[in-house]
Amino acid sequence: MTGERRALIIANGEYDNPGLSALRSPAADAEALAEVLADRDISEFAVQVVRDETAHVIAGRVEDLFADSAPDDVLLVHFSCHGLKSESGELFFAARNTRPERLASTAVPADFVQRCMRMSRSRSIVLLLDCCYGGAFSQGVAVRATGEANVLDAFPAGGFGGRGRAVITASNSIEYAFEGDHLADDHVQPSVFTSALVDGLRTGDADRDEDGWVALGELYDYLFDSVRERNPNQTPSRDIEMQGELYLARSRRRRIKPSPVPADLRAASEDQNMFTRLGAVTELQRRLTSENLSVAIGAHEVLTTMAQTDIQHIAEAADLARRDARVRTEPEVVRFGEVVRGSRPVARIRLEGPPIARACRFASSHSWLRVTEDGDGAEIVLDQAELGAFEARVTVTGPTGEVAVRVEGQVVQEPKPVPEPRPVHTPAPTPEPSRNPDPPVLPKPEPVRPKPGPFAVAAGLLAFAAAVYLVVIAFALSSSVEDFFEDGGWAVLPLVAFAIGAGIAMFLPKTRRMAGPGTLCGLTLLSAIPSGPVLLVLADGCLIAAAVCALVSVRRDRSFRLGLGKPRDALAVAAIVSALLGALGLVIEAVELFGYSSTRADEGTIYLVVSVMLLIGTMLGVLLRPATFGIAFLGGVAGGGIVMVCMLFYAMPSSSSVTGAGWGIALSMVLVLAIVTGLAARKENG
């Protein structure tokens, strides 16, 4: 399939109307589902999240998704909110501004979503509804749920013109009871449906046939079993109208068929001569370590047979050879120790042994212990909120056996800060207090902000060092203001400004995690290109060291991971186009320099290098995830482009044969790139 894969996650947990109780799960559900859908190793969807928005904003995003689609696109929409039925039986999805007595004008009608799906050109549409459904009610009258919510009736099959669509609901019968304008029941439990969906995709457990792909039908079967196991009173429902199979994600669940051992080796393993069978054991042990897992499993099966049926001497040799391929983990027990409630500590389980011993699956015994497979092991994240000791296990299963890794520790309350002792003063005599004395005004406690890590501090200081060095050099080489501009000292001023800005971003609490490192890395990618006098080498070295420290600080931050995805939107396309045109301008200028004089070949080469790095940096900024880091990286690339274009302008010869037209194009386009980046940052923050 060559089309795009786009997902829209709509999560409404906060409501202005007191008649709709707040839901705890939508925010967490949206974050977890967006992470797994955007993972390029799993689903590779371009994900858009809409949280706690008004009805007209949600309706606009839904219509945009379905209207801007191609036949081969795969579209996925996930609703997590209250679902309300009017007195006439129409289904609505609650938004932040929804008023239960004015559903038609303040909620999103299910009929509207249905019409958008019908109008879409896409042949693969999946709608997931994780909603709590309420019956019709009127002011001052308590109406209890009396039966089915009949959610699927709002999305009848047919009328899709051969296109495919699937609707899967968390439940078709859960409804609330209303007391006047208020829900009588307090349903604030985390979503069973969405957590099962995320687990099935992340772990690959939804790949029932173990063919390496999670099909839509397999996903529903997995959701049905998982939800019913966790909550027997909740039954997911589906209505699928789709030709062929739709694969939503990849998985590591791939059944490996054993490859038969060669006929001569099989004959040797069954030969009457004991020494011939011992020789077969040696050859089978060698095949057991093969990178080809089918070959290794075939050898393991023969060794298992010999260990169970042969004479003691041969059986012991076969069993010893087989042990080398058993499943082994490091560590065998994960001890978290004392964990402060609210934190999410991370540990890693590493697999050891030959390839066949590392072809394993991981399964957690509890939902609060999340397991993510990566390479030759798995990362486990603890998200336990209950105080006290805990114990769980991670089961590791492979072709050659199974082992359970015990996980233990204790969740403790975060210690309260001990107030500093205040000096004791002897109170002076005071007049008789009045009957209604004013209460004492206590100072407001200052918010505790986490301190920057050592690598973030190092990155910021190195960026400042580069800026200070550039200022000193620029003014030391110029005896006057006229010399400062004639000698090209002004050319380094943009780099000084951008380096200071990146250094400050590495210290600010809101920017030092992603925006600061992204900006610093993007700036260094272009600004550290060798150009100009040798005196600039030290500044380039400081910037490179700062970028390395920034990347280390990002790597040490376990709350997110850097990855690559597809271009996000029209602004991403605009950034790529501006970079292409800017690179074209630099190439034009390089050609002029080559034609002007062979002695200018080095300068022309620098133009070409800058053009290539501008393209590479822009593509990385567009593709990097999380989006905040990618946009900041793109901003740094734009800043570095401005710096390099200014430096190259100073070195341009004064000749009629060198028009500078290419330089003008390059400068215009890097400025456009900076503007586009600013718009993308504004959109991301908005």
Q: Which residue has the tokens 């996925």?
A: 76
Task: Spell out the SS3 assignment of 92-145.
Answer: EECCCCCCCCCHHHHCEEHHHHHHHHHHCCCCEEEEEEEEEEECCCECCECECC
Instruction: Region of 176 please: left (phi>0), alpha (psi -120 to 50) or beta.
Output: beta
pLDDT tens track for 76-123: 999 988 888 887 778 899 999 999 888 889 999 988 999 999 889 898
Q: Does pLDDT of 464 surpass 80?
A: yes
pLDDT tens track for 567-576: 767 888 898 9
pLDDT tens track for 182-199: 343 443 345 788 888 888
Kindly state the tokens that stand for 374: 């990566």
CA distance 359 to 399: 7
pLDDT tens track for 280-300: 999 998 999 888 888 998 999
Question: In sequence order, what DSSP letters do the residues of 535-579 get, joined into one string?
Answer: GGHHHHHHHHHHHHHHHHHHHH-TT---EE----SHHHHHHHHHH
CA distance 468 to 460: 12
Q: What is the DSSP letter of 490?
A: G
- Axis crossing angle, helix 192-203 with helix 216-230, rounded to the nearest 10: 130
Task: Give 13's pLDDT tier (boundaries 50, 70, 90).
Answer: confident
Task: Give 672's pLDDT tier (boundaries 50, 70, 90).
Answer: very high
Q: What is the DSSP letter of 618?
A: H
CA distance 217 to 194: 16
